[in-house]
Amino acid sequence: MLPEATVPSRRRSCPGFLPPRRMTVYTYAAIFIALSSVAVKNGQSQTGPHSRAIELSAQHAEKPDFSEDSAGDAACQPCHAEKAAAFHQTAHSLTSRLPQPGSILGGFAPGSNVMKTANPELFFRMEQKGNDFFQTAVAGAAPFISQRSERFACVIGSGGKGQTYLFWKGDDLFQLPVSYWRELGWVNSPGYRDGVANFNRPVIPRCLECHATYFHSMAPPVNRYSRNGFVLGITCEKCHGPGKVHIRHHTARSPASPDADIANPAGFSRDRQMDLCAWCHAGAGDPLRAPFSYVPGDRLDRYLKLPDPNPAVPIDVHGSQVELLERSRCYQQSDLTCLTCHDVHSVQHDLAAFSERCLSCHKPETAMFPQRSHQTDSNCIACHMPLEETNLIVFDQNGKRARPKIRNHWIKIYRETAVNPGD
């Protein structure tokens, strides 16, 4: 029997389901959720290794709302229309959205809206009712059937590879048990045990910090937020800082310097550029200050403790792009940063365009291109930054496991992809 009947109420209690067998991750969201399971009883945190997360979130609950200093993307468009329009098509901008027909990848029509499990007496059904979307767990065999439905509240993931979904219970935010992967369709959310309906995985601030611009914490418990105090997607102000003062100066035609009241990552030092990207692309880390308090252009190590580099420790290709890049000779022997190759304001999928950056330094017939027999083509990336399976995102589906492939950012010669592996 499933606890809680088929009532999509978000104010009822959240009884326990069997826990997932393994807390692997779905993008950053599931990494941080997995790392921060916290015992909570009657709204009070219990002593444990992750009590620090609740303490920091509680500090954040006392801070002014983000909206007091922010202007919102719409305020940027009059002066930056072309750049804003292009940015709103990127994976950063689309990394979290409200549930709508155009934002959810999976189908809700009969024939495409059911996910069967390894348990013959449990399946999940995805349904649209008016403007709302629901996941329903159906357990048992007729006439003894129990159901539990929860409403989609947030879509996490741009959809390039897949998505996962969140739901509210009162003011507490949880991950839904069914996600969507382009290559597989509806799947168990990563780390969830196949054949079990689990609605109890909390969504902690550190995961939202990398999949949204802002969530106002109301901890404890650690996954409690203001339902009117969040900004989905990565917006302009996530990387440029609050823009209200900047817009006020320019609207008033103030003589202030253009960058005096707004952060411009292009003008940051190399270390500060890398810090900005490492905020969400260098692993989970250990928060040192309240969530969403990092200021672009500041030192990241004042807010987040990242693991010390250890060449002997392998790094997974998912979510650790900065760590992998910093192991590359290209990075160590140049002024390379993430912005050397990535234009975060536009969609970039053309490997030939990325390869042009490589060839701007590694010119044929020069010392920077030592293999005379190596024929250049328009795709340096496929061989020197290959796609590799991640061990952090694992789907269990009907007795099978699937791991998506992620681009490795450790730039080097890989024997398995080398044109002349013996050279």
Q: What is the pLDDT of residues 161-218, one digit of tens each?
A: 899 999 999 999 999 999 999 888 999 998 899 999 999 999 999 999 999 999 999 9
**pLDDT for 28:** 35
384 and 412 in contact (C-beta within 8 Å)? yes
173 and 165 in contact (C-beta within 8 Å)? no
**pLDDT for 389:** 93
What are the backbone angles phi and psi of residue 131, rounded to the nearest 5°?
-95, 5
Confidence of residue 396 (pLDDT cuts 50, 70, 90): confident
Confidence of residue 128 (pLDDT cuts 50, 70, 90): very high
Whole-model pTM: value is: 0.82
262 and 242 in contact (C-beta within 8 Å)? no
E-strand stretches of 105-242: 114-116, 122-129, 132-141, 144-151, 154-156, 162-169, 172-175, 178-181, 185-188, 201-202, 212-217, 225-232
Task: Please state whether the peptide bond connecting residue 220 to the residue before it is cis, i.e. omega within 30 degrees of 0.
Answer: yes
**pLDDT for 258:** 58
Question: Over the stretch 243-275, which tens digit does the pLDDT of each residue have?
Answer: 998 998 888 876 656 567 899 999 999 999 999
Q: Pick the closest to residue 289 from 298, 203, 29 (CA basis).
A: 298
**H helix or E strand, kind and range, residue 401:** strand 400-402
**pLDDT for 190:** 87
Q: Which of 5-9, 82-86, 274-278, 324-328 has the lowest mean pLDDT?
A: 5-9
Q: Pick the closest to residue 193 from 30, 29, 28, 401 (CA basis).
A: 401
Phi-psi region of 285 (alpha: psi -120 to 50; beta: other; left: phi over 0): left
Q: Which of 355-369, 371-385, 406-420 has the lowest mean pLDDT?
A: 371-385
First vs last C-alpha separation in the chain: 63
**pLDDT for 162:** 92
Question: Over the stretch 67-110, which tens digit does the pLDDT of each residue have?
Answer: 678 999 999 999 999 999 999 999 999 999 999 999 999 999 99
Confidence of residue 319 (pLDDT cuts 50, 70, 90): confident
Instruction: Tell whether the model's pLDDT for residue 60 goes beyond 70.
Output: no
Instruction: Tell whether the model's pLDDT for residue 62 goes beyond 70.
Output: no
**pLDDT for 55:** 56
Instruction: Tell whether the model's pLDDT for residue 372 goes beyond 80.
Output: no
Confidence of residue 370 (pLDDT cuts 50, 70, 90): low
Instruction: Tell whether the model's pLDDT for residue 376 goes beyond 80.
Output: no
Count Cβ atoms within 10 A of the Cβ of residue 87 and give its class: 0-12 exposed, 13-18 middle, 19 or more buried: buried
Q: Pick the closest to residue 273 from 283, 264, 261, 282 (CA basis).
A: 264
Per DSSP, the three-state class of 284 is coil
**pLDDT for 183:** 86
Instruction: Tell whether the model's pLDDT for residue 48 goes beyond 50.
Output: no
Which residues neighbour 1 within 8 Å (Cβ) at sequence distance 6 or greater?
Answer: 139, 140, 144, 146
Cα–Cα distance list, 130 to 42, 111, 122, 245, 310 (Å): 35, 19, 26, 40, 52
